[in-house]
Amino acid sequence: MFAFTDEQLQLRESVRRYLIDHATVSRTRELMDESAGFDRLSFQGLFNELGIGGVHIPEEYGGAGLSYVELSIVLEEMGRALYPSPYLSSNVFAANALLLIGTSEQKAEWLPSITSGERLATVALYEESNRSIVANIEQSVTDQSFTGTKSFVLDANVADVFIVVARDGFDPVNPLRFWLAHSNDSGIQTIAMESIDSTRRIGRVSFENVKVERLGDRNQDHGGFGKFIDFASVALANEMVGGAQWLLESSVEYANHRVQFGRSISSMQAIKHKCADLLLEIELAKSGAYRAAQAIAAADSAFPAYASIAKAAANDAYMQAAADAIQIHGGIGFTWDNDTHLWFKRAKSSQVLFGTSEFHRDQLLDRIAVLEAD
């Protein structure tokens, strides 16, 4: 349970090799200035060459039928390579919403084209107000029609379909539900939002009397939203530990080459001990991220607590790695030309998406009863 299988190690290796070839930092820097923000050719290769469009999606919907563990391996490698693409928003978040909540007809209609990369989907969640807390969503759908504005929508600029999280205006308990909307609806307008992290695009999407279709049955339970958020947190946590590991490795490499006072700075304890502490923090965060992914795969009831552990640990480890990496590089670490800031910015955008550490730690204590019982 705590070791990767040979097949999983091979998957990691092939994704890593693909990204080394196709996601060079120089290419990423070019993409940061382009409007789409990602490379369609290398993105298509994920589906055609690597076959990872639907790692955890059942085979009947065109996926590979593997588990969240394999998905997490793919995400960790993408995080390591800082690969800019709508994979997380479409193939993970939107696909998860469909998998968790959609009816079998809806899954059959949408998942195959998402899995093959033909269609890009994204979840529209955050609202303008109360943007810090994930669950504070007030806007609602009435009469199959939605009017409202969603912010921080990942890859909104390229999405073919939006999965909107909004309340059900007709239901007396006013539950959170997911609703499908086509991006070509004339009532939809998307504006790019400026993000410090140009490797992950966000947009503000306004909906004006947009026709929407409810995801899932009217009568199904309301737990789907919480599960969706937890799945998303775990996916992000796994992506984040990959980025943190890259920062540590690049810092050690730099330290081994940089000479001051007639010796390598990597022989200085202030630098060495920082790196040792980072390694420990990153290893712990990896364990949290891996364990939570396993818990999803195994439908373990302690999973919600593990999701909070994973995201809080990844947030702290990635930000610490980012700050320390710049410090270890000295002045050059503060320049645009040095690559460290690209990962720093990804760390920052990931830290606040789907819950800060403070949010998850607070939530963990509410969930800990299950944790202590295992």
Partner 1 sequence: MEWTEASVRNELRSFLEANWDPNSDLLDWRNKLIDAGWGMPSWPERWYGRDMPQSLLSVVAEEFASVGAVTVARTGIRLLAAETLLAHGNDAQRERYLRKILTGEETWCQLFSEPGSGSDLAGSTTRADLVGDHWIINGQKVWTTSAHHADFGLLLARHDWDIPKHQGLSYFILNFHQAGVEVHPLRQMNGHASFNQVFFNDAKVPRNDQIGSSGDGWQIAMTTLMHERRNAGNIFVEARRRGDFEGLIYEHEAEETKVVLAPYTWYPLRAGRVDIVLPRASDTGAINNPAARQEIAKLMIMSRCAEWTALRARAAQQQGQPQGPEGSLGKLAGSNIARQAAKVHTLISGVDAMACGNDSPESGIIAEILLSVPAISIAGGTDEIQRNIISERVLGMQKEPRMDTGPFKDVRKN
Contact positions vs partner 1 (CB under 8 A): 1-3, 248, 252, 255-256, 263-264, 266-269, 271-273, 275-277, 279-280, 283-288, 290-291, 309, 312-313, 358, 360-362, 364-365, 368, 371-372
Q: Smallest distance, Å, CB 272 to partner 1?
A: 4
Give yes or no for a contact between 242 and 77, defined as CB atoms under 8 angstroms apart: yes
Nearer to partner 1, 100 or 352 (CB): 352
Nearer to partner 1, 33 or 372 (CB): 372
In 3-state terms, what secondary structure has residue 176? strand
Q: Smallest distance, Å, CB 34 to partner 1?
A: 36
Would strands 176-182 and 161-168 be described as parallel, antiparallel, or unpaired?
antiparallel
Q: Smallest distance, Å, CB 263 to partner 1?
A: 6
Nearer to partner 1, 4 or 195 (CB): 4
Would strands 259-260 and 176-182 be described as parallel, antiparallel, or unpaired?
unpaired
How far the first Cα of the chain sits from its last, in Å, is: 16
Nearer to partner 1, 97 or 255 (CB): 255
Q: Smallest distance, Å, CB 99 to partner 1?
A: 26
| Measured distance CA(97)–CA(80) in Å, rounded | 25
| Measured distance CA(96)–CA(91) in Å, rounded | 8
DSSP 181-241: EETT-TTEEEEEEP-S-TTS-EEEEEEEEEE-EESS-TTS-STHHHHHHHHHHHHHHHHHH
Nearer to partner 1, 236 or 285 (CB): 285
Q: Which of 154, 170, 171 is nearest to 162 (CA)?
A: 154
Q: Which of 166, 164, 154 is nearest to 235 (CA)?
A: 154
Q: Smallest distance, Å, CB 291 to partner 1?
A: 5
Give yes or no for a contact between 99 and 63, defined as CB atoms under 8 angstroms apart: no
Nearer to partner 1, 288 or 333 (CB): 288
Q: Smallest distance, Å, CB 309 to partner 1?
A: 5
Nearer to partner 1, 167 or 272 (CB): 272
The kind and range of the H/E element at 145 are strand 145-154
Q: Smallest distance, Å, CB 299 to partner 1?
A: 18
Q: Smallest distance, Å, CB 209 to partner 1?
A: 42
Amino acid found at 95: A
| Alpha helices (H) in the chain, listed in sequence order | 6-22, 25-32, 40-48, 68-81, 95-101, 104-115, 224-257, 269-297, 303-329, 340-352, 357-373
Beta-bridge mates of residue 146: 141, 210
| Measured distance CA(166)–CA(172) in Å, rounded | 14
In 3-state terms, what secondary structure has residue 120? coil
Nearer to partner 1, 59 or 253 (CB): 253
Nearer to partner 1, 36 or 352 (CB): 352
